[in-house]
Structure formats: structure tokens, C-alpha cells
């Protein structure tokens, strides 16, 4: 058939809105409602390369398509990895995939975290809930090039202990001497012995050189707003703060209008923004 | 269509009947013609095949929330009305458009992309504001990092016979945004109709080589100075007859200032979030995607459909809508048109066609909203200075 999109024809002009089919290689449950899938292109080729912070549009057969950040290691390009929280129609359909199932993938789209720019600096990474998924590739990249960075701090908050993602990795990371990991939960449940409270309460308890620190934040907008207030108090300049924004997205590539926040297309100008670029917008209601 | 500069030596005069020959040439060249047609009392853009399909002796009356056409028996003019609810947008960027389908065959899935449009479209009687709108959607769909292949292909095969506006409507304000009433290029051919009881002729300007080719055998008669003057006089008068005016001084700053400083309650209470303004707007480009499957679940189809920022679920994210009030949606829409667009695409998103004013069921008027915003900001500033004292 003449219009069948073959993998080698990805550059065809009308393929921007056409997904590349991928096969599910594994599906692992992280928590009650969150899972990680590993995908390989059905055409036998390699997944498209990505930079930490970028996202793909994932399509479930006949159900719909949603933006999901890439949560894997950019230096392991054989498998495409996504971590997804089941919240509604499409994410539920994705949760019901089995090994061998096929889904559509478009991307990667969007701006990456400023990993290179942060070299030589201390790094504070703040994640709330599923927000750790888009930041995991940052940790992978930094740990593979650890000497290039100063202090590296990960602050991670979830609602309850059972909602912590990537438990095994968190444990490994906590055991490292070159990484400071602090975790907090909103509500403790036995046998939780750790911190209780919102993630902002962790900020005054870690040390970094404010003038030489880059901070990367991903989570609910309120959490990012309050964390930024706290980070500013400790003296980090605004231009060293980076946030990942979320909006409804239909195309992911600047064509459908949905993701707009003021004059920005979050899909293309973001999702990762230098804070000064979105500061005003984040403070206007219903923007 | 080529974007060559119009050659002023190529201005002809043509009689109404000779237009038939031009239409024939266009059809012979393999174009399907889309032009104004009277349907349900409304000037629509539809498929036309000959001169006879064009509305004759129709005038229109447009005011906020009001649209009426009138037929006069003695009037034989062809273009004495302005734009109706349709713009060329619906042909180069259809309201519903299948992108692809996936077939499941023996457990394997196969994607079949929709072939690119093959039909060559000739737009007949397109007004300067709509030409400007096409230029704007060109930037949206062809000018960025990612392009819309269907739009791009469709546009590459357009022929444009434009018509200048000598009788602007009650909601028109193209002079304010510099898009009309006279087309400044971006057409293959352009007509100015001169009609009175005493005489009836058209000034015909060619804009491209293709345009010149299309008039072969139709006219070679250069327009006399006197006739040109007649047409120019009408167009000059048209500039003064705009039903509305948009204050564009410092507009972008004004809108951005207004986004968080003032109250949008009044317009929010009026607006029904019906989406009419966005559907008739020739530059609004938002879309959503629809997924359907057949009953056996072996074929899934993905269709792109026009969407509107006034729709409830447009800004939906798990847990709620970003813009749940009409107030916020109206603010978003007007801010995008008059400010955000400038940042995104280097041009206003408004071409002054007035459709959003005419077709708004409660008569919300974008030009008046700008005036009101200016007042609200001024009041707010005055209050602030008063407090400081
Ligand atoms: C750039 C970006 C990266 C993201 N990365 C991840 C990730 O790594 N892991 C993860 O679990 N989630 C992520 N999300 C959120 C995820 O896209 C939504 O949870 C998902 O769209 C919900 O779809 P649904 O059909 O299951 O939910 P429903 O509530 O049924 O939503 C219906 C539709 O609304 C839209 N929608 C709903 N919620 C959102 C939302 N939060 N963001 C954008 N569109 C939405 C979608 O089009 C969706 O199909 C990301 C969102 C964005 C914008
Ligand atoms: S401004 Fe008017 S036309 Fe637009 S959504 Fe509101 S009520 Fe409808
Ligand atoms: S998601 Fe379509 S424009 Fe950003």
C-alpha cells in the first residue's frame, strides 16, 4: 500500500502527526496507580534520541493520545522508557497494556533541562509526585558525569509513603556519598520513619552555594510556586531556577493551540522554562 | 501561488460577461473554484462552476449580532456585499480532517496516513482581509519548526482571484490593521468592481505570471486613467466607510497590562462561550483530535477537528480546567489575537474582517473591548496614584 508509513520514511512531511509504532517490552508497577513501560520501535529500528525533560505523545489504540515525559536514561538508547500515572481514559488504557502490545509514539518534543548550563554548579532538584519521572533522566545524566557538578541534592515529596516512585533507585541514590537525597510525605503511615510535610520544608535543611546553584523543579504548580519562594529566600537568583509546566496538549508540536499559557506554547517553548520567562504567567489566575 | 510584486503595467479593464471566459480558463487549468454563493440568505464560500453561481445584486447589513442580506432586482453588481461566516480557512484547513487510520491485521498494526490533498483550489472573490488571514495561517502552519503537510500542500496549489472592497460592512475595520480595503499583493488576479446605474466594469490587476496566463483570450484592454481613477475613488471612499475602528497604538502592551491588572467580569458575564467567534475567525487555528474505532476494534481512525479556546474542556487537565470561567476564556482569546500572536508569529492575529462581531450572538465587539480595557486600566492607574497620595 502506497501510504503505509515505513520507519525509514519518518522524515516524510505528513508524518508529524503520524505516530511511530512501538512494542511494549515490559510493564512494571511502581505504585498502586503508577507504572513504567519499556518500548522498542516495532519497525526494528532504535527509539528516537531525546534529551532529559522532553516528552512524547503516546497513543493508545482507538482511545487517544497523551503527553508523557521520558523517564529513561538518555545514554541507553535501545529502549524508550515512560513512567505513567493512571488518572483517566488514556492513561488507564495504557495501564492495561501487556508485553507485546503495540502503541503509537510521536516525539520527542519540547525543551530539555539545562544540564550543560548547570555544569560546575551545585544542583537542587525538586520533584513532587509523578514529577520525579521527567527528572530521572537528569539524575542519570549527572551521575554518569558526576565530577562536572558540585553538590547535587534531590528533594522529593509525595502524598504518602506508598506513592514513592523508583524505590530501589531511591535507595541506591541515598546510599551514595556524592548525592544528597531527602524525601518527605504529606501524610505518614506506619512504618514511615522519614520526614513528614510538604517538600518546601526540606529546602532550608540542605546546603548549597546559592550564587552557584541551578535548581530544577517539576510537580504541581502550587508546589513549584512555594518551592521557588523558599529557594529565593535562600538566595538563588531567579535566572538559575527552571520549572516544567503542564498544559492540555493535543499535538505537542505547536500546531493545535491547546497548551498556550499567555504567549507561550508550553509544548514547544517548554515544558522546561527558565523561571523568569513564566514568573508573571504563573501568578495570574486561570492563565 | 507565487508571491511576486504586482506589476502596475498589468492593469486591465474587463466587462462582467468576460468574467465567464476567465472562469473557463481557471477551470480548464484544472482548478476547482470556490467562491461566494448565497445559501440560506447568507454569503457562503462554496463550490462554484460558472459566473451564474455568483450572487447578483446582493447587499448585506452587518452589525453586532446581526447579519442580513438583501436582494435587489435592478442591481446587477456581483460583489456589493462583504465577507460572510466562511473564510478560505475551511478549505485549506477543513473543520474535520482525517489524519490516518490504524489497521490491526493478525495482531500486527499498520498505519495508513491520509494522502495529501490533490485538488487544486481556485478561490474566487476573496477579500483583502482574507488574503491577509491566509498569510497569517501560512505562518502558523508552514512557518514554524513543525509544519502541517496537508495545509502546506493545499496552499501550494491555490489560485487566487481577489476582489477589493468598495462597500465595507458595518463591522469591518481592515483599515485599522492595514489589511484592506485594497489588496496589496498575495493574489494571482484582483478585481475592483465599479458599478452604477450608468456603467458596470471591473478593473483587473494581475499579480503573478499565472494570473497573466489565466486572462489570455479574456482581456487585453488596459485600464484607462479615467477608469482607474474611478476605481481608486471608490476604494478611497471605502477607507472612510469602515463600520468600526480598532485602536492599535501600544496595543500589545495594553493587553498584557490588562491580563492581570483589571477585571474581566463584565465581558465574562455577557460571553456565552458559544465558540462562534472562533469558528468564523479566519485565523483561529485551534484543533482537537478525535479517535474512533469500528465495532470489531480492528480499525482506529484519528480525525483532526476544529476546536475553540471557549470550549469547556479545551484547557482541561486531570483535576480541572485551567480556564474554567468565560471571563478567563475571553481574556485568553482577545489576548492571543491582539498580543500573544505578535510574539508567536510576528503579526496580529486579527485582520479586521469583523466576523467575530457580526456572529457573536450577544454582540460582543472586539474593538469596543479594547476601548473598555483602556478605560479600565486608566481607572486602575488613577486609583493607584490616588492611594499613593
Ligand atoms: C509535558 C507533559 C509531560 C507529562 N509527563 C507525564 C509523565 O511523565 N507521567 C504521567 O503520568 N503524566 C504526565 N503528564 C500528564 C499526563 O499527560 C496526563 O495525566 C494525561 O494526559 C491524562 O490523560 P487521561 O486521558 O488518562 O486523563 P483524562 O482525565 O481522561 O483526560 C482527558 C484528556 O485531557 C487531557 N489531559 C488530562 N490531563 C492532562 C494533563 N495533566 N496534562 C495534559 N493533558 C491532560 C488529555 O488530552 C487527556 O486525554 C504530562 C503532561 C505534560 C503536559
Ligand atoms: S465572544 Fe461571543 S461569539 Fe465568542 S464565545 Fe463569547 S458569546 Fe460566543
Ligand atoms: S500541544 Fe498543540 S500547540 Fe502545544
Residues A96 and B362: their CA atoms lie apart, in Å, by 47
Q: What are the tens digits of pLDDT across the range B90-112?
A: 999 999 999 999 999 887 889 99
Contact residues on chain A for B116, CB-CB shorter than 8 A:
13-14
Spatial CB neighbours of B328, under 8 Å, sequence gap ≥ 6: A285, A286, A287, B264, B268
* DSSP structure string for A136-190: HHHHHHHHTTGGG-S-EEEEEEESSGGG-SSHHHHHHHHH-TT-EEEEEESS--T
The grid coordinates of residue B115 equal 494522502
Q: Could you tell me which of B159, B215, B223, B160 has the C-alpha nearest to residue B194?
A: B223
Instruction: Tell me the residue range of the domain where A66 lies.
Output: 20-109
Q: Nearest 5 degrees, angle CA A192-CA A196-CA A199?
A: 125
DSSP letter, residue A17: T
Cβ atoms within 10 Å, residue A168: 7
Based on the fold, state whether residues A224 and A185 are members of the same structural domain: yes
Separation in Å, CA A184 to CA A35, A130, A201, B90? 21, 14, 9, 53
User: B309 — contact with chain A (CB < 8 Å)?
Assistant: yes
Strand duo B189-195 + B200-206: pairing = antiparallel
The pLDDT of residue B9 is 66
The closest alpha carbon to B25, from B245, B251, B204, belongs to B204
Considering only CA atoms, which of B289, B291, B282, B336 is closest in space to residue B309?
B336
Cβ atoms of B130 and B83 closer than 8 Å: yes
CB contact residues (below 8 A), chain B span 196-215, against chain A = none
Residue A235 C-alpha, separation from nearest chain B C-alpha, in angstroms: 27
Nearest to A3 by CA among B86, B101, B188: B101
Residue A190 is assigned to a structural domain of this protein? yes
3 state SS for A59-91: EECCCEEEEEEECCCCCCCCCEEEEEECCCHHH
* Alpha helix stretches (DSSP H) within chain B: 19-28, 89-92, 128-142, 149-156, 174-177, 209-214, 225-240, 251-261, 265-270, 276-280, 326-335, 341-345, 355-358, 366-388
Chain B: closest CA distance from residue A115 (Å): 23
Ligand 2 centroid to B365 CA: how many Å?
10
pLDDT tens-digit readout, A8-24: 333 343 468 999 999 99
**What distance in Å separates the CA atoms of residue A183 and residue A193, rounded to the nearest whole number?**
11
Whether residues A161 and A104 share a domain: the answer is no
CA-to-CA distance for B302 and B288, rounded, in angstroms?
10
Write down the pLDDT at residue B8.
52
Closest CA to A1 of B112, B298, B116: B112
> What would the pLDDT profile of B181-213 be if each residue is shown by its tens digit?
999 999 999 999 999 989 999 999 999 999 999
- On the CB side of B104, CA atoms within 13 Å amount to 17
Is B286 within 8 Å of A258 when comparing Cβ atoms?
Answer: yes
pLDDT over 60 at B2, yes or no: no
**Total tally of structural domains belonging to chain A:** 2
Structural domain contains residue A228: yes
| Within a domain: A267 | no
Please name the residues between 263 and 302 in chain B that touch chain A, using a CB distance below 8 Å.
285-289, 291-293, 297, 300, 302
The answer to whether residue A234 sits within a structural domain is yes
Same domain, A129 and A235: yes
Distances (CA, A) of A104 to B23, B47, B296: 46, 37, 20
Q: Is B244 on the interface with A (CB under 8 A)?
A: no
The model carries a pTM of 0.93
Look up the CATH number of the domain holding residue A183.
Answer: 3.40.50.80
In a shared domain, residues A105 and A218: no
- Tell me which DSSP letter residue A249 carries: -
Q: What angle do CA A250, A251, A253 make, to 5 degrees?
A: 140
Q: Report the alpha-carbon distance of residue A263 to residue A282 in Å, rounded.
A: 13
Å from CA of B318 to ligand 1 middle: 7
Q: For the packed helices B149-156 and B128-142, what is the interaxial angle rounded to 10 degrees?
A: 140
Question: Which atom from ligand 2 is nearest to the alpha carbon of B360?
Answer: 3
User: What are the pLDDT digits (tens) for B219-232?
Assistant: 888 999 999 999 99
Element (H, E) at A95: helix A89-95
* Min Cα separation A106/chain B (Å): 12
Q: What angle do CA B64, B65, B66 make, to 5 degrees?
A: 90
User: Measured between alpha carbons, how far is residue B186 from residues A112, A213, A250, A254, B86 in Å?
Assistant: 39, 52, 32, 25, 19
Q: Is A250 in the pocket of ligand 3 (CB under 6 A)?
A: yes
- Please tell me whether residue B141 adopts helix, strand or coil conformation: helix
Q: Looking at the complex, report in whole angstroms how far the Cα of residue A259 sits from the nearest Cα belonging to chain B.
A: 7
The pLDDT, as a whole number, for residue A214 is 97
B325 → chain A, closest CA residue: A286
The preferred substitution site among B286, B330, B365, B369 for testing ligand 2, maximizing ligand atoms within 8 Å of CB, is B330
Domain ranges of chain B: 8-93+117-240, 251-288+308-377
Cell reading at B65: 449580532
Judged by CB atoms closer than 8 Å, whether chains meet at A254 and B286 is answered as no
Cα angle B380, B386, B389 (rounded to 5 degrees) comes to: 145
Residue of A nearest to B255 (CA): A262
Last residue of a domain, one of A109, A135, A166: A109
* A86 CA closest ligand 1 atom index: 26
Q: Is B271 in the pocket of ligand 2 (CB under 6 A)?
A: yes
Question: Is the pLDDT score of B7 beyond 70?
Answer: no
Does B6 score more than 90 pLDDT?
Answer: no
A88 contacts in chain B (CB < 8 Å):
318
Which residue is closest to B302 within chain A, CA to CA?
A: A62
Ligand 2 atom closest to the Cα of residue B310 is 5
β B316-317/B158-163 pair status: unpaired
Q: Select from A227, A244, A261 the last residue of a domain.
A: A244
Q: What's the CA gap between A249 and A69, in Å, rounded?
A: 12
Of A55, A87, A109, which residue is a domain's last?
A109
Whether residues B104 and A88 touch (CB distance < 8 A) is answered with no
Separation of alpha carbons B312 and B321, rounded Å: 7
Cβ(B273) – ligand 2 distance below 6 Å: yes
Q: Is the pLDDT of residue B81 over 60?
A: yes
**pLDDT of residue B357 exceeding 50:** yes
Of A65, A254, A256, the CB nearest to B144: A254
**Do A105 and A187 have their domain in common?**
no
Same domain, A131 and A203: yes
Does one domain contain both A143 and A169? yes
Is pLDDT of B31 > 70? yes
Supply the pLDDT for residue A5: 38
- Report yes or no: B145 at the A interface, CB cutoff 8 Å: yes
- Please provide residue A126's backbone torsions phi and psi, each rounded to the nearest 5 degrees: -120, 120
Split at pLDDT 50, 70, 90, the class of B388 is: confident
In tens, the pLDDT along B231-242 reads 999 999 999 999
Q: Which three cell numbers stand for residue A91?
A: 492513561
Percent of chain B past pLDDT 70, that is, above it, reads 98
Mean pLDDT for the stretch of residues B117-135? 97
- Residue B14's SS3 state is strand
Q: What is the mean pLDDT of chain B?
A: 94
When CB atoms are compared, the residue of B115, B150, B291 closest to A63 is: B291
Nearest to A18 among B113, B259, B260 (CB): B113
- Spell out which residues line ligand 1, taking CB within 6 angstroms: A 55, 64, 66-69, 83-85, 87-91, 130, 133-134, 246-249, 271; B 316-318
Low-confidence ranges of chain A (pLDDT < 70): 1-15
A240 and A129 inside one domain: yes
Q: Mind telling me how many Å the CA of B254 is from chain A's nearest CA?
A: 14
Q: List the one residue out of B112, B93, B115, B113 whose CA is nearest residue B103.
A: B112
Which ligand gives the minimal distance to the CA of B332? Answer: 2
| CB-CB under 8 Å, A104 with B291 | no
Q: What is the DSSP string of B49-65?
A: -SGGGS--SEEEEEETT
Amino acid at each position: 500500500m502506497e501510504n503505509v508509513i515505513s520507519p525509514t520514511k519518518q522524515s516524510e512531511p505528513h508524518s508529524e502527526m503520524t505516530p511511530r509504532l512501538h512494542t511494549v517490552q515490559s510493564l512494571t508497577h511502581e505504585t498502586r496507580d503508577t507504572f513504567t513501560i519499556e518500548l522498542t520501535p516495532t519497525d526494528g529500528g532504535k527509539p528516537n534520541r531525546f534529551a532529559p525533560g522532553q516528552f512524547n505523545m503516546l497513543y493508545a489504540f482507538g482511545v487517544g493520545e497523551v503527553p508523557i515525559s521520558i523517564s529513561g536514561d538518555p545514554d541507553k538508547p535501545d529502549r524508550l522508557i515512560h513512567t505513567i500515572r493512571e488518572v483517566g481514559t488514556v492513561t488507564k488504557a495504557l495501564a492495561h497494556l501487556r508485553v507485546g502490545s503495540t502503541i503509537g509514539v510521536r516525539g520527542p518534543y519540547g525543551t530539555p533541562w539545562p544540564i550543560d548550563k548547570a555544569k560546575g554548579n551545585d544542583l537542587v532538584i525538586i520533584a513532587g509526585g509523578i514529577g520525579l519521572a521527567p527528572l530521572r533522566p537528569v539524575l542519570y545524566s549527572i551521575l554518569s558525569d558526576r565530577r562536572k557538578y558540585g553538590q547535587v541534592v534531590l528533594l522529593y515529596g509525595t502524598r504518602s509513603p506508598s506513592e514513592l516512585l523508583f524505590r530501589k533507585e531511591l535507595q541506591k541514590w541515598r546510599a551514595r556519598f556524592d548525592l544528597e537525597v531527602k524525601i518527605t510525605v504529606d501524610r505518614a503511615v506506619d512504618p514511615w520513619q522519614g520526614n513528614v510535610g510538604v517538600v518546601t520544608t526540606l529546602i532550608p535543611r540542605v546546603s548549597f552555594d546559592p550564587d552557584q546553584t541551578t535548581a530544577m523543579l517539576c510537580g504541581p504548580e502550587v508546589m513549584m510556586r512555594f518551592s521557588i519562594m523558599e529557594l529565593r529566600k535562600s538566595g538563588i537568583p531567579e535566572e538559575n531556577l527552571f520549572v516544567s509546566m503542564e498544559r492540555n496538549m493535543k499535538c505537542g508540536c505547536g500546531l493545535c493551540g491547546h497548551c498556550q499559557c499567555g504567549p507561550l506554547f508550553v509544548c514547544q517553548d517548554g515544558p522546561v522554562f527558565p523561571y523568569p520567562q513564566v514568573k508573571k504567567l504563573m501568578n495570574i489566575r486561570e492563565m | 501561488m507565487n508571491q511576486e510584486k504586482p506589476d502596475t503595467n498589468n492593469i486591465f479593464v474587463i466587462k462582467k460577461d468576460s468574467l465567464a471566459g476567465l472562469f473557463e480558463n481557471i477551470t480548464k487549468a484544472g482548478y476547482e473554484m470556490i467562491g461566494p454563493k448565497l445559501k440560506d440568505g447568507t454569503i457562503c464560500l462554496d463550490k462554484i462552476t460558472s459566473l451564474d453561481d455568483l450572487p447578483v445584486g446582493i447587499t448585506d447589513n452587518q452589525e453586532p449580532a446581526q447579519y442580513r442580506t438583501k436582494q435587489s432586482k435592478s442591481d446587477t453588481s456581483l460583489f456589493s456585499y462583504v465577507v460572510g461566516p466562511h473564510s478560505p480557512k475551511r478549505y485549506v484547513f477543513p473543520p474535520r480532517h482525517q489524519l490516518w487510520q490504524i489497521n490491526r491485521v493478525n495482531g500486527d498494526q499498520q498505519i495508513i496516513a491520509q494522502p495529501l490533498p490533490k485538488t487544486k483550489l481556485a478561490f474566487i472573490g476573496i477579500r483583502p482581509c482574507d488574503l491577509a488571514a491566509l498569510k497569517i495561517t501560512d505562518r502558523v502552519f508552514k512557518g514554524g519548526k513543525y509544519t502541517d503537510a496537508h495545509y502546506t500542500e493545499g496552499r501550494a496549489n491555490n489560485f487566487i482571484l481577489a476582489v477589493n472592497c468598495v462597500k465595507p460592512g458595518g463591522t469591518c475595520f481592515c483599515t485599522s490593521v492595514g489589511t484592506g480595503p485594497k489588496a496589496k499583493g498575495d493574489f494571482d488576479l484582483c478585481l475592483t468592481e465599479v458599478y452604477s446605474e450608468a456603467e458596470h466594469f471591473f478593473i483587473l490587476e494581475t499579480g503573478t505570471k499565472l494570473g497573466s496566463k489565466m486572462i489570455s483570450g479574456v482581456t487585453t484592454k488596459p485600464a484607462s486613467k479615467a477608469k482607474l481613477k474611478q476605481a481608486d475613488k471608490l476604494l478611497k471612499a471605502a477607507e472612510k466607510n469602515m463600520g468600526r475602528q480598532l485602536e492599535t497604538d501600544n496595543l500589545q502592551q495594553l493587553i498584557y497590562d490588562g491580563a492581570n491588572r483589571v477585571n474581566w467580569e463584565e465581558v465574562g458575564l455577557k460571553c456565552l462561550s458559544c465558540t462562534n467567534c472562533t469558528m468564523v475567525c479566519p485565523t483561529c487555528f485551534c484543533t482537537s483530535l478525535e479517535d474512533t474505532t469500528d465495532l470489531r476494534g480492528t480499525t482506529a481512525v484519528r480525525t483532526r477537528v476544529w476546536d475553540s479556546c471557549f470550549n469547556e474542556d479545551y484547557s482541561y487537565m486531570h483535576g480541572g480546567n485551567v480556564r474554567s470561567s468565560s471571563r478567563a476564556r475571553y481574556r485568553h482569546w482577545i489576548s492571543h489575537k491582539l498580543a500573544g500572536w505578535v510574539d508567536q508569529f510576528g503579526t496580529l492575529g486579527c485582520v479586521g474582517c469583523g466576523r467575530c462581531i457580526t456572529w457573536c450572538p450577544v454582540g460582543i465587539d472586539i474593538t469596543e473591548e479594547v476601548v473598555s480595557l483602556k478605560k479600565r486600566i486608566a481607572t486602575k492607574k488613577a486609583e493607584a496614584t490616588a492611594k499613593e497620595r
